[in-house]
Chains A and B, each alone.
Chain A
Amino acid sequence: MARALHSLLWRGIAFAVVLELMLIPAVLYFPEFERHTAQLRAMAPLPVLRGIIDTLEEGGVFAYVTGQHFFKGCNTLGTAAAVLFAAGAVAGESHRGTLEIWLARPVSRNRLLSERWIQGALAVVLPVVATTLTIPWLVSTVGYELDYGPLLLSSVQQNAMLLAIYSVTFFLSTLARSPAGITFAMLFTTIFMFAVYLVERLTHWSIFRLTDVERFLYIQANGTFEWSKLSPLVAVIALSFVASLVAFRRRVP
């Protein structure tokens, strides 16, 4: 466990650092963004992007920051991290020939898999939460204020999305012999979903509708989750985890 934990710890730290490095300049740019919203709207090539800029303008600093950090940063980099952390969970052991010694330890398979799932999930979730906690201070440096509450609730919504992607990838990893194919398949699917989001007539079919700025504005306005958008993600996480346990029980070295 310590070996895998050590590896995921470093990956989690790297993920957090990159998220923060993306967040800092984005927040510092906000005053410029406010001044030049009209020009940015005029430059936006797609109606969906123009709609996003309108939403950001109406939502103010909260919409801008959640758009930058969650919708842009976490939905792209976070998705990649979730896929990469999960793809090797079991398939990676098989690929490098260590599956047998891992399974041969005097530990139940449920525990082996649960430990690994939790380690990877924490490496995905904690960097998102940690970087979110820096937002109120960052926006204060450019003269704005934001409360922790709506930001943390938004990070839960975002983490549910990332965990759903993580869990589906993890399930595929319990079935596969090599992580490469899963990684490509999942990254292709998520990039495709992001592309769908940008197409006006198809945008409502994209999974990223569940973590776009409108969702975060709902959370800010109501002080609670939009349950119809959160519960499908939770269901995917739970089902994928159970399916992983079932598949892993049947896995042979």
Chain B
Amino acid sequence: MEPGGEGRIVARGLTRSFGTKVALEPFDLDVHPGRVTGLLGPNGSGKSTLMRMLIGLVPPNAGSASVDGVELEGDGTRIRERTTYAPGEIGLYGELRGREHLDWFVRGREREARVRAREIAESFELPLERRVHTYSHGMKRQLVFAAAMAPRVRVRILDEPSEGLDPHKRSAMIELLQRDVASGTTILLSSHHLGEVDRVCDTFVFLSLGRKLATEHAEDVARRAKRLVRLEFAPGTPLERVAASLKHAKARAQGSRLVAELDSDDPREFLAEIAASRELGAPLSIEYGRTSLQDLYRGLYGVEEAV
């Protein structure tokens, strides 16, 4: 494989098994410079394995990858020198103070990284003089995030960076990510929070059981959202029968909701069809043009996921 350019993440046929369990089937990935790609999927779908493989923590059984123009080879040291990584499972040296731990994280990086790490941690109001074993889970997560955001690198790989954070801290984290991306950094992140992924990512990669189910770009999702209409009806309305009979949309019933994907950008014909239906009463609410990441997720996995 020809290595991708600076700031790019490329994977071709990346594969990994643990014993008889296939953690990742041959996997292709393209993350372009200055873009944010979100890996989405339930636990055990292979997100963390993919991220670990990209920075050399888990050697692939097959396939190749390059990050920031450097091919994945050996133990991936050259890639780790050019990227930062925030692990999903957090284990820290509890006996160290927060400040000491940050210093430990950024040792080997440029000198300014230490200052920036402390600034980021202080912006999260982390008590850096306290020992890490007294930190809550969310505080540990913020410490790791601060360490991953501090070095000046072109690529960051963040495994569930906001897991365990309260909404206020999560918003602060997203703002930081957005500023970082605006300066040209490429980010690959995984998350279970669709709202967060929705706000920050340009591209969504959906995984399940080690396989890529779909890749969606934010513009396409937004475009598709313009064709998505959700109507809430009174309980007991025969929505399944109506959904099957609609001519101007592909629709499905979800409890007391009718979710329709229109055949065109103009919803008027569809709404007229609904209004003309004798089996439907007046809708209780209508949603139109809203982002449909949750619908994508639901459609792919058949489950609701955290917002």
Contact = CB atoms under 8 A, between A and B. Distances in A.
A104 B108 contact: no
A126 interface: no
Interface string A226-253: 0000000000000000000000011011
Contact of A104 (B55, B74, B100, B109): B55
B91 A104 contact: no
Contact of A105 (B18, B80, B90, B100): B80
Given A252-B52, A253-B52, A101 B77 contact: no
Contacts, number: 60
Contact of B92 (A101, A108, A109): A101
B93 A104 contact: no
B91 A99 contact: yes
A250 B74 CA distance: 10
Interface string A91-115: 0000011111101111111100000
Contacts of A3: 93, 96, 100, 104
A104 B75 contact: no
Given A105-B80, A106-B77, A253-B52, A98 B93 contact: yes
Interface of A is mostly: loop
Select the residue from B74, B77, B91, B92 with max chain A CB neighbours within 10 A: B91
B80 A252 contact: no
A106 B58 contact: no
Contacts of B104: 2-3
Contacts of A250: 59
A97 B108 CA distance: 22
Interface in B47-83: 52, 55, 57-59, 74-75, 77, 80-81
Interface residues of B, number: 26
Nearest to A4: B93
B87 interface: yes
Nearest to A104: B85
A250 B87 CA distance: 19
A153 B107 CA distance: 39
Nearest to A252: B58
Interface string A108-144: 1110000000000000000000000000000000000
A177 to B, nearest CB: 13
Contacts of A249: 75
A251 to B, nearest CB: 9
A97 B91 contact: yes
Contacts of A100: 52, 57, 87, 89, 91
Contacts of B107: 1, 105
B124 interface: no
Nearest to A100: B87
Contacts of B55: 104
Interface of B: 18, 52, 55, 57-59, 74-75, 77, 80-81, 85, 87, 89-93, 96, 100, 104-105, 107-109, 144
26 contacts: A3-B96, A97-B89, A97-B90, A97-B91, A98-B92, A98-B93, A100-B52, A101-B91, A101-B92, A101-B144, A104-B55, A104-B57, A105-B105, A106-B77, A106-B109, A107-B108, A108-B74, A108-B75, A108-B77, A250-B59, A252-B52, A252-B57, A252-B58, A252-B59, A253-B52, A253-B87
Interface of A: 1-3, 96-101, 103-110, 249-250, 252-253
